[in-house]
A and B are shown apart, each in its own frame.
Chain A
Amino acid sequence: MSQPLAQPLAEPSPASKRRARGVLGLTLAVGVGLPGALFGLIVALSPLRTIVPAGWSDGEVFLLHAVGLVVLAVVLVTFGAVISGMSVWWEMRVSSRMQSRVGYNRVGAGGFLQWIADAVKLLLKEDLVPAEADGVLFRAAPYFVIVGFALTFVVLPFGQSLIAADLDVGLFYVLSVTALVVVGILLAGWSSNSKWSLFGGMRSAAQVISYEIPAGLAAMVPVLMAGSLSMQTIIQRQGAWPWQWNALTNPFALVAFFVFFIAQLAEGNRTPFDLPEAESELVAGYLSEYSSFRFAIYFLVEWGNLWVMSAVAVTLFLGGWQVPGVGLDVYEAARGAAGSIPGLGWWGLQVLSMLVFVAKTLFLVNVIIWIRWTLPRIRVDQMMSLCWKYLVPFAFVCFVGTLFWQLLVTARPWAALATGVALTGAGLVATFFFLRLTLRNVSAVGDRVDLTNW
């Protein structure tokens, strides 16, 4: 058709081009620099406890370690906040592509700085407390949530020596402190004095307490296999190659991995278990009355939990930070004398192990996001029946099965390797078929693969 008055949009002026370059630079600085600095600090500070500078008195060494740990604590909490914000951005980008949308695209290049803008906006909002709410509990609830979230970072391993404190009861500690989150949610639901919040709080309490059981049982499987509750020990007892991972050397552990993963989804209130804040039923659930910074805390914890869930699952089942081809003796050799400042090679190995761990964790984070934007929400009674009729029996079977499996593996050590190779092969075949199906989906409706404008 004729378009007599059509006029193309004006060419971008040099000034706007300069501005776009500036935005890109800023985005890269924040996107690479911020996590880079945090990871760097984690790498630099975590092994501090093992270093005893020659000639320092005990008191000075203690002071050094104490200061190092305090800084590390600050770094880890900041890391939790940053990774949460970046997950929000990434989730929004991924979900929008799944829905044929562009998604965040205004603040910063690719909309990357949107999470900072959102955080600033939330901090500037008025902190409302409903007149009829229970003021003290209402104000206190977010702190339970954030404390339960931040404390888990104490035992989350980032690399071979990169852990704030390798507690002997590490896994037990994780399960305990995450239970604080549900206290916060329940308080929020009760104290808001809103019917929707109450519904959300009750649902959340029922859900989290129920799913603690399959999660705990499934987490016992790697504990049985490793013979320890310590996170680092559990990782070190696994191998680096996929066929040496807990989840793949033992068929029961594979099932336990899925049970654990599903239970973690439920504990993190992620779809399909987002009943406590089901927006089409409960408006915003326990969050209904929150605003401003307190709302931001819930937001932060919800997305920061993505990292925690994935990191714990990777630790327990997927080999943690183990780098293929780099055994523990290699670390030892590179470490040098105990107490001294390690050589450059050792630091390089630490960074390498951290990269492996981060890569695996981000993969699981993506899976969680992907599930969220695919599946509908289940109903509250189905949530219960899934837990008690499916997950708990499965977890029990896996637990008992692993007991016998360990006997078998002790008698016939090749069984673990054979299972590992077989399951890895099966996984690769399944992945192949899945990717083929995915590519066929694209052509089936007449679209084509087009990665421009990502």
Chain B
Amino acid sequence: MERLILRRLQADGEEMILNFGPQHPSTHGVINFMVETDGEVIRKAIPDVGYLHRSIEKIGEQVGYPGFMPFTDRVDYVAAMFPNEGYAIAVERLLKLEVPPRAQWLRAISCELCRIASHLISVGTMAMDIGAFTPMLHGVRERETLNDLMEALCGARLTYNYHRVGGVAFDLPEGWRDRTLRFLDHFDRFLVEFDRLISFNEVFVKRLAGVAVIPAELATDYGLSGPNLRGSGVDWDLRRDLPYAAYPNFRFQIPVGKGFVGTVGDAFDRYYVRCLEMGESSKIVRQALETLPEGEFMAKVPRRIKPEAGEALSRVESARGEMAYYVVSDGTEKAARVRVRTGSFTAMGIVDAISPGLMVADLVALIASLDVVAPEIDR
């Protein structure tokens, strides 16, 4: 591997080859970048992924349909609700199962809270990689409240395993609604404070504005999705444009990067789209809690899940972009193929193209602004 990369890198021997990772404070997990630098300027950065490959897709072929749910948590453990939901929807489509409305609402609530939790980590680590440690811990502090809420809801703080084929595992616990609303009241004001603390700090803005610009065409060409795509100015969100679950019932905005302080598609746009999305998610959770329908939270699911042969694709707007589950059934109790398409994987592919000309410090900003999570790349 290294030899192969080095052969591509070493043009005239004047450059320095840096092994940026796998153990590096700002690679967000175990990722390696082979960086060819000329002083502080990067000639080329080639990502080398796979350190966290856990063969989750293979496991999906070995355990039964319901048994795979806890493994989906591990696809993206920073925002584990989305893989849960994506897989559940895919199997439900295979089974042609109708999910009761209350379950749809609970899915939306849990996912949007999870999106907030994930974005808090994302914007926090962005600040940390730029060199400000305090905002990171402020984000973690707010996430902690969310983790407590999730823990009360489904018993786990990280690997939720909350969604089930046909619904969700638990109804809301007592008092949870009020706790959540109280948190959201606090959180909306926290977002304002966070912007004052870091988002529009001039040093921070100068570090991100106009850095690592990804134009819209390049973003679609490389299959970027989610906040990364919207940061490039493409107005696209699955929740609004191909609605699933309970989303058609809520009113919310889709923040799109428009060059808040620099160029459209720069690192700051990707960062700030996430900040704005947190506010929108908060709106969705409020609406969902207000309009939460009564009824069952789990559909009648056959005891043995054994869909007829066929294939289904489910697309979910995850915190890191589009998460698609492609589940192929051959008529047995175990899937013939479970494919997970994740936002981080495609986001990582673009580093190769964007990195030339950046400085070493900008590479850190680029990685942080793409908000990649190593397990999601490697699965």
Contact = CB atoms under 8 A, between A and B. Distances in A.
Given A278-B131, A279-B25, A280-B129, A379 B362 contact: yes
Contact of A376 (B189, B201, B362): B201
27 contacts: A100-B138, A195-B18, A199-B360, A275-B361, A280-B26, A280-B128, A281-B360, A281-B364, A375-B131, A375-B201, A375-B203, A376-B130, A376-B132, A376-B198, A377-B131, A377-B132, A378-B206, A379-B206, A379-B207, A379-B359, A382-B206, A441-B193, A444-B189, A445-B186, A445-B189, A445-B190, A445-B193
Contact of B131 (A274, A283, A446): A274
A95 interface: yes
A376 B203 contact: yes
A280 B131 contact: yes
A268 interface: no
Contacts of A378: 203, 206-207
A282 B24 CA distance: 9
A278 B26 CA distance: 11
A373 interface: yes
Interface string A416-454: 000000000000000000000000010011100000000
A278 B134 contact: no
A374 B132 CA distance: 6
A211 B316 CA distance: 51
A379 B361 contact: yes
B204 interface: yes
B127 interface: yes
A99 B138 contact: yes
A381 B362 CA distance: 11
Interface of A: 1, 95, 98-101, 195, 199, 271-272, 274-275, 278-283, 373-382, 441, 444-446
Interface in B129-148: 129-134, 137-138, 141
Nearest to A279: B25
A281 to B, nearest CB: 5
Contacts of A379: 206-207, 359, 361-362
B185 interface: yes
Given A272-B203, A380-B359, 6 more contacts: A100-B141, A195-B16, A199-B40, A199-B360, A445-B186, A445-B190
Contacts of B127: 376
A271 B25 CA distance: 17
A377 B127 CA distance: 10
Contacts of B25: 279-280, 283
Interface centre among A1, A95, A375, A444 (most CB of B within 10 A): A375
Interface residues of B, number: 36
Nearest to A278: B131
A272 B134 contact: no
B16 A377 contact: no
- Pick the 3 closest A-B CB pairs, nearest first: A377-B131, A99-B137, A376-B132
Contacts of A195: 16, 18
A275 B130 CA distance: 11
A100 B137 contact: yes
Nearest to B136: A99
Contacts of B192: 444
A72 B273 CA distance: 59
A82 B190 CA distance: 39
Contacts of A441: 193
Nearest to B26: A280
A98 to B, nearest CB: 5
B359 A381 contact: yes
Contacts of A377: 130-132, 203, 207, 361
